[in-house]
Structure 1
């Protein structure tokens, strides 16, 4: 009986030995599947479990002991905080730079720029929660720099992550401020640039530099380092560019 139980334990450990758990900012959800496929070509024996969410909420989970060995955030501040607390074992490195876009399911006149938020036809504006989602914070920054924040803030509908904000934009709002990367998803391909969406002027907000760190939970597992190295590789960069990120 003891030999039987030992056999089960050993078999179970083998099954789960090569599975890594990674926390990923919601804006990367549109590119992550293709990144996983490309990674598996190099490391077919490593399985990846992805948890998506806002960077703030994922950081809170990590600080409370969530079993993630790597964190792909939507900014540099959250991974920097984890590094300063010695929860991250590597200094944050930029793996991609994101951009903001506005989206409407109905054709809209984007020639007005961000001032479109004050249009009478816009009664609800979806944005990501600026307290937990860096893309939400960038949206607020862009509006304040354009002097439209005070007049528009009563229209806000908040999503807890950028993916939830996209959902609100296409179901419950007249306009949404989203990650440009989401527009490169096959499910979003029917929305046309300068008809349904446009890029937000990048001079209105600080560059959205997205940081990656290895975490203490996975420091003795080389599989996490393999995925970390892959995300910083030229092969991964090509995928990020395909999904609207800049180098």
Structure 2
């Protein structure tokens, strides 16, 4: 009799344990095998290669959203469901961190380089030629939201050219739109990222020159992991670590970025 009662009690405890285990398991969010990466427009081509290499290595898929760093920051603050923010500067990732929307402080993953680019084959790009009457429109990314636009304005001012060409400037929403102005020839010339002209899609199109990086504040490009409620951050952390790996650094260098050893 006592043995039967004991067995029933043991079975009861086992059933309770199973029920608790199922409830706890049900409360956990399943690990997502895809991460959403918000990337600055200058990183459009490089981030594609990096994310493809990451997926091949880990099996984790990457969804890319490309826009200006300023716009992406506003979206993140408003609650956009991104896991990683790959910015064109450190200002915006730091803003995310100060708003307590990041898992940890951002880090610089690369330094961008500014170029002057034209689709007109007969044209040899130079800062001096921007004042010529043959140049009617100069494409530039919006300096209010795009770090490469800020760098271009700074360079023009330091070179004492800004006041002479201010009325010629045509502002793109991001580097992507600025590139459209240049490639469509709606602007005779424009400022863009070196990573764009070195991409497979744009390589050997038009002519460009690398601008003196001493004439503008270093473009420190930072990345940060976004804090997501009730989401497993394992894959986000894996990508963040991969972004600073030797393999990713080599890809960044191929696109003209300067990276720290």
- Fold conserved between structures, TM > 0.5: yes
Deviations 1:78-106 (A, max 9, x none): 10111111112221111111100011111
Q: Which residue of structure 2 aligns with residue 52 of structure 1? A: 66
The structure 1 residue matched to 2:136, chosen from 109, 117, 123, is 123
Instruction: Say whether 1:27 aligns with 2:42.
Output: yes
TM-score of the aligned structures, taking structure 2 as reference length: 0.84
Alignment equivalent of 2:170, drawn from 148, 151, 157? 157
Q: Which residue of 1 aligns with 2:226?
A: 215
- Matching residue of 2:19: none
Aligned counterpart in structure 1 of residue 55 of structure 2, from 40, 46, 56: 40
Aligned to 2:210: 199
Give 1:55 shift: 0.1
* Counterpart for residue 99 of structure 1: 113
Q: 1:177 aligns with which of 188, 191, 197?
A: 191
Q: What do residues 172-211 of structure 1 show as CA deviations (whole Å, max 9, x unaligned)?
A: 100010001001111212236xxx1101111110111100
Q: Which has the larger radius of gyration?
A: 2
Q: Determine if contact 2:33/2:235 at 8 Å carries over to the other structure.
A: yes
**Matching of residue 144 in structure 1 with residue 152 in structure 2:** no
Distance 2:176 2:160 in 1: 26
- Structure 1: distance between partners of 2:36 and 2:107: 19
> 1: CA distance between counterparts of 2:124 and 2:35?
45
TM-score of the two chains, using structure 1 as the length reference: 0.88
Residues 35 and 62 in structure 2, CA contact (< 8 A), matched pair in contact too: yes
What is the number of equivalent residue pairs in this alignment? 229
Contact 1:191 1:197 in 2 (8 A): no
Query: SS state of the match for residue 185, structure 1?
Result: coil
Contact persistence 2:32–2:232 (CA under 8 A)? no
Query: 2:105, 2:129 → 1: CA distance?
Result: 39
What residue number does 1:235 align with?
A: 247
Q: CA separation in 1, counterparts of 2:55 and 2:124?
A: 43
Point out where structure 2 has 5 or more consecutive residues left out of the alignment: 1-25
Q: What is the CA–CA distance in structure 2 between the aligned matches of 1:83 and 1:168, rounded to whole Å?
A: 34
